[in-house]
Structure 1
Amino acid sequence: MRRVAHRAPDGARHIVDIRAASAGSRRDLAPSRVHLSFLRALHGEMLKLNSLKSTWIMVALALLLEPFGAFASAWSYKYLSTINPTTGKPLKTPAPIAMSDYWLSTGAGLSMAIIVVGIMGVLCISSEFTGSSITATLTSNPRRGTVLAAKAAYLAFLTWITSQIGVLFSWAAVQLTLSAPGKTELEASQVSLPWLNLLGGPLFLAVFAVMALGIGAACRSTVGGVMTVLGLILIAPMLLSILRAVSRYFAWLDTLTSILPMDLLGLFLGGQTAPPSDVTGFLPLWWQAGLIMVVWAAVFYFLGTLIVKRVDIS
């Protein structure tokens, strides 16, 4: 009796290979969705933030406003040096310009750029909620805290490098405006002014940008986040100053005003090492102003992270 060997059709072998390949691909893809390193998340947020047109508009505005503010401040000091403060008439020989005014003019544009930086920090996160792209972001990386930390890290770096370049341009503008001889020397209590205005100011704005990011994450709305930032740096100081002018019983508001971000920036760049004798309330020194700004940023960043983690993104 003859034995006949039956051979399975080729299609069966192909089906087995496809099933094995698909099972292997599922095993390969599953870990990559769950385990995404911080560096990969940082790279993704860098690409995403760089692709936004609003990012480069804000960067360009900051680079323009910082030298412009520095030039305007330096020109005003130069003009005042030619006027007699008592009579208001022009002087035959311009008065010497204080070296402290020279360095304060270098950082004067930062008070204009802080508004731009705040708006950029809000847009960094609120644009994703507004455009619903946050769903794709959290699908690729479900760890929401890591996503927000990566955004904060790159936003702080971009703000710092932009502000640092702007301050260098500001320094050049002030040098060209106040290049004439006749500057007084810095006092012993003002030796930190060059470092604070050249290097400290950009770091201050980087911390403020992280605070604005936290506000945007907490509000999840561009309008709400921008209005909150503007309220803290512009509207609140104006309202407090109006109340302070109404009655002497509101003198304690001076302390509250001095710990708001805009006043903190001025106190930080001013390099005050001892409180003035005519101040009755609390007025932060330059290093205290920097620490208070860090506290502001930490509080809002923690609040934004908590809301992003706990609240539904829809």
Structure 2
Amino acid sequence: MKPILASEWLKLRSVNSTGYAIGAAGLAVVLGIVWTLYVGSLADQRGSIHAAAPEEGFLPLVQLSLAVLGVLAITSEHAGGLLRTSLAAVPSRGRLLLAKATVVGAVALAVSGAVLLATYAISRVIAGDRSLGFNTGSLADGLLPVLASTLSVTVLALVGLGIGAATRSTTTGIVSVVGLLFILPGIVTYLPAPWSTRVASIMVPNLIPQITGERLSRRLGAGVLQPWVALLVLVGYGAAALLAGYQAMKRRDA
């Protein structure tokens, strides 16, 4: 398995799209600094302000960037014909997909963890003693949401990989991830009660606050799912996408 992992790591870091995706995710740090400076200037004028935490506000950028990385990790190989070569070297589609998932997951975990932690820490340092709404507690108080957010990014990267394996289409994979992150959560709010609340509770953006035990919104109250259930649902997204990708790879040639 080690040679397969080394090969997948070499392929992932040798394509330009990997650097672009990581760079896009890294923009969250820059945007977080700009945002904190902006709301800090408002607080200097008004005395205090209640602003969104930058690591939460720019989380979708990190999620989408690394989900696209997951999609491209396999669709770029298929488009270039490299996937046939990979399958010739590693006939087991399960082992090949597992190796890709391990490499993509590790990269997503490391990059998202570094980006979100940096955004979190730097924004608090810049905020200082000013009351900005997101810096009321100690520096350690917000680490659990950051870790949950990092996990969500990693899962979404695996979702992108699984959808890419199932569809072999970069466009379909990216559109699917966008729909999962932004479109479906908006649509379910129009469902009749109590279905709107129940379905909203399993949408990816709403799982993070439930994992950490925070309030979701006035509509969802304290949350519908227990933290451990929300965690299982989040992990289930990645597992279901990878299973779908594996089944699709088994049924067809590269």
Same fold (TM over 0.5): yes
Alignment partner of 1:256 out of 199, 205, 210: 199
Separation of aligned partners in 1, 2:217 and 2:170:
40
1:40 maps to 3
Matches within 5 A, 1:22-33: none
Divergent runs of 4+, >6 A: 274-278
In structure 2, relative to structure 1, the CA distance for the partners of 1:75 and 1:287 (3 Å cut) is farther
* Deviation of 1:108 (Å): 3.5
Matches within 5 A, 1:152-191: 152-181=101-130, 184-185=136-137
2:90 is the counterpart of 1:147: no
2:244 is the counterpart of 1:303: yes
1:205 maps to 153
Count of equivalent residues = 251
Q: Identify unmatched segments of 5+ residues in structure 1.
A: 1-37, 83-89
* Deviation of 1:158 (Å): 0.7
1:34 maps to none
1:22 maps to none
* Deviation of 1:240 (Å): 2.6
In structure 2, relative to structure 1, the CA distance for the partners of 1:67 and 1:178 (3 Å cut) is same
* Deviation of 1:63 (Å): 0.9
Cα displacement string for residues 76-124 of structure 1 (whole angstroms, at most 9, x for unaligned residues): 7646756xxxxxxx64xx1487xxx78x444433222101111111111
TM-score, normalising length from structure 1? 0.69
2:229 is the counterpart of 1:288: yes
The one-letter code of the counterpart of 2:250 is: K
* Deviation of 1:132 (Å): 1.7
In structure 2, relative to structure 1, the CA distance for the partners of 1:193 and 1:256 (3 Å cut) is farther
In structure 2, relative to structure 1, the CA distance for the partners of 1:212 and 1:275 (3 Å cut) is closer
Separation of aligned partners in 1, 2:118 and 2:42:
23
Alignment partner of 1:224 out of 161, 164, 172: 172
Identity of aligned residues (%): 26
Alignment partner of 1:62 out of 25, 39, 60: 25
Bigger-Rg structure (1/2): 1
TM-score, normalising length from structure 2? 0.84
In structure 2, relative to structure 1, the CA distance for the partners of 1:128 and 1:139 (3 Å cut) is same
* Deviation of 1:280 (Å): 7.2
- Report if aligned partners of 1:126, 1:217 keep a CA contact under 8 Å in 2: yes
Cα displacement string for residues 40-59 of structure 1 (whole angstroms, at most 9, x for unaligned residues): 10011010111111011001
1:114 maps to 63
RMSD over aligned Cα atoms: 3.0
* Deviation of 1:163 (Å): 1.1
In structure 2, relative to structure 1, the CA distance for the partners of 1:105 and 1:43 (3 Å cut) is same
Alignment partner of 2:73 out of 124, 129, 134: 124
The one-letter code of the counterpart of 1:312 is: D
